[in-house]
Structure 1
Amino acid sequence: MIRVGAVGCGGPATSTIWPLFGPAGINCVAAWSRSRERVEAATARFGIPRAYTDLEKMLDECELDGVVVVVPPGAFSPLVRLAISRGIHVFAEKPGAASASEATAIAHAAEEKGVVAMVGYMKRFGTAYARAKQITEAADFGPLTIASFKWTMGPMSDEHSSLESWLFENPIHHVDLARFFCGELDSWNGQLARSAGDEFAVAVNARAPGGGVVSMQLSTTGSWEQHNERVELQGVGASVMVDNVDTCVSRPATQPELVWRPNYTIPEPRTSSASTEGFLPELMAFADAIATGKAVGCDFRSAAGTLEAVSQLAKSIAR
């Protein structure tokens, strides 16, 4: 097992990331927070032996292979760079930085130190999305011609006072997926619905490097109880769809469609929602990169590209 220190112990860390340390082959030996009360409560709950409010002290006193950083966007850079300066590998929850330039600077620092610096865009690692990626890369799929990305959530205006705040927190996942499947996008053109009240609803078009076209429907005018997301990718003759995270539908040009979804009746990590959503596989990829030196595709340079893409999307939206 690799030994890590947990940096940040708020709700997203303790509800989503920390419970997966064991299944991912990670031993968390220490945790840090600015709040003494919070870090002591969290370490007691998870049986983590050491609690710190001084990050430098944790990095100096504990023998760590890496740190797992889950903090608000504006807090990442100094914490991540401090670990990198000590030659410690870093996993940062998305977006990993507050801006593309900040993510690029972190990438440069990690490259100079020769450490793994990974950003947790977990959807890339979700089981259905990973399967879809394999299908689109097969020769018989052909070049991408058209792709659509739907991300429809329930109301979130109480959490986000501006369109930009919401774009960088939630739809950024599907912008990253669009880059993952389609490459670097340009010619962004967005339209904001004027009928959504305090909520957000945006339709976006962009162009992929090979000439294909990409559309996105992003909103908080849906329901938390209903269908939330879908990705469809069309090659030439063949296509593939990921429906609501867990189901991959392959439609070969000359064969019947093939439907794959996890067998949830088997109580194993590979059939859990943690794998379906990608949280467990991304942590396993981080641990494997440290152990083997294998490159991670979801690094800070890639994160910079996603942050820049969201910035371009936001600028393109007609208000």
Structure 2
Amino acid sequence: MGANTVTRAALIGGGFMADVHAHALRANAIDIVGIASSSAARARQAADRLGIDRAYDDVAALLDDDRVDVVHVLTPNASHAPYALAALAADKHVVREKPLATNVRDAQAVVAEAKSRGRVAAVPFVYRFHPMVRHARARIMSGDVGIVYSVQGAYLQDWLLNPDDDNWRVDDAAGGASRAFADIGPHVCDLLEFVTGDRISRLVTLTRTVHPMRRDRAVHTEDLVGMLAQLRSGATVNLLVSQVAAGRKNALSLEIHGALESLRFDQERPEELWIGRRTGSMHHLRNPDELTGDAARLSRLPAGHALGYQDAFTAFVADVYASIARGSVVDGLPVFADGLRAAQLTAAVLDSARSMSWVDVPAVTDSPLEDS
């Protein structure tokens, strides 16, 4: 991967995530050349809303534009793999919303293509970029936590609580065979594996579709997933993922129990890390003067000035473009191999739910965590 100081971006997809990506790009002084969407008219609407000069008639026109160095793919799930492959074939770097693909085979093909092209190819598992997540990871890597015995985590939302709540993600043709887990489950699993430096080796799951009909649509994807798993180290994992948890908006939490102390991170309270000890437990509030390494690097505001989701996303984009500029991937950047990992976990979750049995999860190659 050669260094590249020219970094101009274009977006494919004009929904909510286009706003998030556009804000992060501008915060990093990255030029947004243009945007394509499902039609020329929708692209124009998105361009007007986001203040982007050019609306492409279609994706082919975007990929043919030599001014575009990096393509951000922000479309429904079923189109992720084809657009990523097309962008890589056009010799672009790629930022792709998860899932990498709706099945493992397509995810493997995308990973292989990115590797063969030598392009930076990243997936926004952006919760890695909260400073207190990096602080938790550092405490585990330094031995402060001791041997990890167990992990408890959850990702809870309520936006699909009622039977008349609907979205394109509910349609398995657009969203894939898994919904609740594929949409938000990979975030908590990625956070778990990133913070602990360990991998889920096997799992058993239960899934439930609470509403078999939404409006006039038959539903074939799950509303919630319960998982029991084991890490390679032997630690026990208990996870709950739900899009029908009343009152929960974006409640991603992770609690790790070690021989010496426990750690808890709550995405809705990202400025703090709970450190539990047999005596003297505490809430450690983010303070750059007390942090080191990546936790300090990502603390872009002084203590008491809250950093949130958009700040984490902006930090992710900064590391993507830093990786392109220097010609090597910044440590901790989630890449396509991490997206493949999510596809493998999703497949294992569905296999286990169908068979009602334990399923082994294979290892991922070309991911830094495999060397940990």
User: TM class, shorter-chain normalised?
Assistant: 0.7 to 0.9
Equivalent runs, 1:277-292 vs 2, <5 Å: 278-292=312-326
Equivalent runs, 1:154-233 vs 2, <5 Å: 154-156=158-160, 158-159=165-166, 160=170, 164-182=178-196, 183-192=198-207, 200-224=223-247, 228-233=251-256
Q: What CA deviation, in whole Å up to 9, does each residue of 1:246-301 have, x standing for no partner?
A: 131233677653422589xx799x8342346x322211111111111231541111
Equivalent runs, 1:1-319 vs 2, <5 Å: 2-14=7-19, 16-156=20-160, 158-159=165-166, 160=170, 164-182=178-196, 183-192=198-207, 200-224=223-247, 228-245=251-268, 246=270, 247-251=272-276, 256-261=281-286, 271-275=306-310, 278-295=312-329, 297-317=333-353, 318=356
Q: What CA deviation, in whole Å up to 9, does each residue of 1:212-243 have, x standing for no partner?
A: 11110222342346782321012221221102
Instruction: Check 1:76–1:227 CA distance in 2 against 1; reply closer, same or farther (3 A cut).
Output: closer
- Residue 245 of structure 2 aligns to a residue whose secondary structure is coil
Unaligned regions of 5+ residues in structure 1, if any? none
Asked whether the equivalents of residues 229 and 243 of structure 1 are also in contact (C-alpha less than 8 Å), the reply is yes
Q: What CA deviation, in whole Å up to 9, does each residue of 1:42-78 have, x standing for no partner?
A: 2123232221123232232341221111111110122
Instruction: Check 1:62–1:238 CA distance in 2 against 1; reply closer, same or farther (3 A cut).
Output: same
- Residue 30 of structure 1 aligns to a residue whose secondary structure is strand
Asked whether the equivalents of residues 34 and 53 of structure 1 are also in contact (C-alpha less than 8 Å), the reply is no
- Residue 178 of structure 2 aligns to a residue whose secondary structure is helix
Asked whether the equivalents of residues 8 and 31 of structure 1 are also in contact (C-alpha less than 8 Å), the reply is yes
Structure 1 counterpart of 2:132, one-letter code? A
- Residue 214 of structure 1 aligns to a residue whose secondary structure is strand
Q: What CA deviation, in whole Å up to 9, does each residue of 1:22-45 have, x standing for no partner?
A: 113321111112311111122123
How far apart are the structure 1 equivalents of 2:81 and 2:171? 24
Q: What CA deviation, in whole Å up to 9, does each residue of 1:89-110 have, x standing for no partner?
A: 1111111222222122111111
RMSD after superposition: 3.0
- Residue 298 of structure 1 aligns to a residue whose secondary structure is coil
How far apart are the structure 2 equivalents of 1:253 and 1:293? 46
Asked whether the equivalents of residues 157 and 248 of structure 2 are also in contact (C-alpha less than 8 Å), the reply is no
How far apart are the structure 1 equivalents of 2:35 and 2:66? 10
- Aligned twin of 2:291: none
Single out whichever of 126-135 and 220-229 deviates more from structure 2. 220-229
- Aligned pair count reads 314
Asked whether the equivalents of residues 262 and 271 of structure 1 are also in contact (C-alpha less than 8 Å), the reply is no
Single out whichever of 148-157 and 224-233 deviates more from structure 2. 224-233
Asked whether the equivalents of residues 180 and 224 of structure 2 are also in contact (C-alpha less than 8 Å), the reply is no
How far apart are the structure 2 equivalents of 1:132 and 1:179? 12
How far apart are the structure 2 equivalents of 1:187 and 1:216? 13
How far apart are the structure 2 equivalents of 1:154 and 1:115? 37
TM value normalised by structure 2: 0.75
Asked whether the equivalents of residues 29 and 49 of structure 1 are also in contact (C-alpha less than 8 Å), the reply is yes
- Aligned twin of 2:368: none
Q: By how many angstroms is 1:119 displaced?
A: 0.9
Single out whichever of 161-170 and 114-123 deviates more from structure 2. 161-170
Asked whether the equivalents of residues 32 and 51 of structure 1 are also in contact (C-alpha less than 8 Å), the reply is yes
Sequence identity (%): 22
How far apart are the structure 1 equivalents of 2:250 and 2:182? 22
Single out whichever of 110-119 and 251-260 deviates more from structure 2. 251-260
Asked whether the equivalents of residues 95 and 120 of structure 1 are also in contact (C-alpha less than 8 Å), the reply is no
Single out whichever of 120-129 and 90-99 deviates more from structure 2. 120-129
How far apart are the structure 1 equivalents of 2:252 and 2:33? 36
Unaligned regions of 5+ residues in structure 2, if any? 1-5, 213-221, 289-300, 358-372
